[in-house]
Structures are given as C-alpha cells and as structure tokens.
Structure 1
Amino acid sequence: MGEIGLRERKRQRMYQDVSDTAIALFLEKGFDEVSVAEVAAAAEISKPTLFRYFPTKEDLVLHRFADHETEPARLVAGRQAGESPAGVLRRHFVAGLERFDPVTGLNDDPRVLAFHRLLYGTPSLAARLYAYLERSESALADALGGDLDARLAAGQIIAVQRVLALDNWRRMAAGETAEEVRAEAVAAAERAFARLERALRATKEKI
C-alpha cells in the first residue's frame, strides 16, 4: 500500500515538474514559440515520455487546473444534509476569495497574473480551457443526478463561477490589487449565488 502511494507521489511530482518547466518556457518565449521537443529537453525526459504524461501541448498548461476539474462535483456529492448544491459551492468560492485562491481570479501575484495572461491570451489554451469547463460541468451534472434538470443546473453553476473569476482577473490585469477588490468580489459572489439559488428553486430542481 505504501509503495503504491510512493509511486503515485512520484508520478504526481513528475507531472508538476514538467508542467512547471513548460510554463516557465512559455512565459519567457511565448506558447507558440516553444516546441514540445524543447520542453522535453528542458525537463530532461524524452518526447515520447512527455506525451505519455501530457497528450497535447496545451495540457502542459492546463495541468494546473487538473485538481479543480471535478472539484464542484466532489463538493456537491459530499455536502451536508440540507445544504443545497449552490449553497456549498457559494461557501467554497467565497472561502477561495478570502484566501486569494488563483482559481477565483482574485490574486495579484505577478506570477499568477502572467499565467492568466498566457492562458487567456493564447487562443488554443483558451479553447482548451472551455473543454475543461465542459468536463467539469458534466461531472457536476452527474453528481446532481444526470438528468436534464441536473445538466441545466450544472451549466448555470459553472457559468456563474467562470464569470465571477474572469471579472476578478480582469480587474487584477487592469492594475487593481486583490486586497482592494476582495470585499466587492465577495459581495458580487454572494449576489450571484443568491440569484442562482433562486433560479434553481424557481425551476423546482429536485437535486
């Protein structure tokens, strides 16, 4: 059991190290200017080995979102009795704002800002991000029951989180600080999730 855990930790460390190496190169030279072979050489692994870990070049960047892909589904599945899906996700998102989690967009660390500029400023990465959001939405829909009502609810929830995070990032990119924006960002999240809760109740979702 311990050996399996060790192998898994080594695998995860490899993912992280190669992704970090790739992102550093992309930030320095531009995503389209760096080849997969160059990344493999910098990470001191073969190109075939790199592709075993990352099927596409874009995956080298989107790996940073890997742990978050099924996060909404996990939170909903593990929510307390009587807590609504929108309620548990609101609580989690607001907690992320309070600790300046980069996933919420509310983080003014220069490295985070540079990563977001790379992500949103590279068409192939932005397209890949939407594919990630679709998978996250699908996992959430399954956690909510998998029927049409569940898919509609999941789409609304993921859209709210995406719009809130993007608005926060745009304010960071415009030069505002996370500390300056935090109170407004929390208030905006509370409003958005309250509206979402009302909308889901209005459609009589039984999830």
Structure 2
Amino acid sequence: MEKTTGLRENKKLRTRRQLAATALELFLERGFDAVSVADVAAAAEVSKPTLFRYFPSKEDLVLDRFADHQDEAARIVRDRPAGQTPVGAVRTHFLGALAERDPITGLCDHPGVLAFQRLLYSTASLESRMSHYTDREEELLAAVLEAESVRPLAARLAATHLVAVRHALGRENYLRMDAGQSADAAYPAAVIDAEEAFAMLADGLDKTLPGAETETGADPGAKADPRAEAAPGA
C-alpha cells in the first residue's frame, strides 16, 4: 500500500512539474498576459479542470516554485548556532548565497534565471500574487520567533522586516543583472548593500530578539537566547 501511495505521489509531482514547465515556456515565448490557462492546458494535453487541481491560479504556474523557499528564513533562524541573533543568522546565510550566486539572491546571470525574473518583475499580476508566498514566509518565521518567547506582535514585525530585506536585496541585484552587469562584477556592490541592510535591521531588532551576541561580539541589549540556556553544560 505504501509503495502504491509513493508511486501515485511521484506521478502527481511529475505532472505538476510538467505543467509548470510547459506554462513557463509559453509565458517566456509569448508573454504572460498573452497566454491563457486553456493554452497551457492544451499544450500540456490536460483539461482545464485537471490543471486547476494542481494550480489554483494562472499565476501559481509561475510562482509555485517559490513554495520550496517559504520556510527557508524560518529554518535559518531556527537552526542557527546558540548565541547568534536571528538577524545575524539571516545575514550570514544571505552573504553565503551571494558568494554562490544563488538565484534566490538575484545575483545570478544565467540566461534562464534572468528570463524568469524578468517575467516576474514585469508582470503586475505575478508581483501581486507573490504576496501570497511572502505572507506565508513571514508566518513561518514569526512562529519560530514566538517559540523563542518573542511576543507575537514583535515576532510578526521582525519577520516582516527580515523577509522584506531579503526580497528587496534580491530585486536590487536582479536590476543589476537586467542592466547588463555580470554577477561577478556586481558581487562587491551586492555585498555592501547586504551588509548595510542587515546592519540597519540589527540596530533595531537585536535589542528585541533572542541572541546574546553577534558576529562582532557581545550585544548587551539583546535578549538572552533560550536555546543557549538549555544547552548541555550551560
């Protein structure tokens, strides 16, 4: 029975990926607004009801891949070393992703990545729908912060700021790529922007969120990290 269930889920996943790939190819070729859901269904050789069983909206055919990253910020903060602030954890991860030219940072000049990002940022309905995924990202991060005894409102505000900075930096880096810069050439400026953005966050959030110290040393204004207190031998 488990084997049958696994095969069924794998088939659904393959179908989902096929539908998304077919849709993206059409959108990149003709433009998002020039392609209908019926066009995608016909190209993928499925019915419209079948397509909507996998994707609630036309926009989700493009944006569903962001679902894989919705819990990223939450995982980064949850799994950070004891004594590191949430801002410090997200900063460290983002700088590492920049060095690797991770597409999620916007600092990636691969033609396929650029084409996808150009589609996203030039289509109003896609940018609007993106808020659905951003909201979920913030909810997951806020839940992690609340689990560390951060007050609910403070957790939501902190999550909103952390997620917003990641997305703002990603868009800024994409604009550099779209203007013709290479990822390697834009890297130094991207690092400077990231350092400045996270420093601005740290000035406010590190006094509210858990984490006894940052990469630069002790922060006497920060809340104690409950995970450090619970560590063996503490």
- What's the TM-score once normalised by structure 1's chain length? 0.91
Q: What is aligned with 2:82?
A: 81
SS where residue 176 of structure 1 aligns?
coil
SS where residue 21 of structure 2 aligns?
helix
Q: What is aligned with 2:215?
A: none
CA distance in 2, matches of 1:204, 1:21: 44
Shift of 1:128: 0.7
1:51-90 correspondence to structure 2 within 5 Å: 51-90=52-91
Q: What is aligned with 1:138?
A: 139
The alignment status of 1:127 with 2:128, answered yes or no, reads: yes
What's the % identity of the aligned pairs? 53
Letter in 2 for 1:69: Q
1:171-190 correspondence to structure 2 within 5 Å: 171-190=176-195
Q: What is aligned with 1:106?
A: 107
Shift of 1:5: 4.2
Q: What is aligned with 1:198?
A: 203
Shift of 1:112: 1.4
SS where residue 20 of structure 1 aligns?
helix
The alignment status of 1:163 with 2:168, answered yes or no, reads: yes
CA distance in 2, matches of 1:14, 1:84: 41
Q: Structure 1 or 2: larger helix share?
A: 1
Query: What RMSD in Å do the two structures reach over aligned CA positions?
Result: 1.9
Which is higher, the Rg of structure 1 or of structure 2?
2
Q: What is aligned with 2:232?
A: none
Q: Gapped runs of 5+ residues in structure 1?
A: none
Count of aligned positions? 207
Letter in 2 for 1:124: S
Q: Gapped runs of 5+ residues in structure 2?
A: 211-222, 226-234
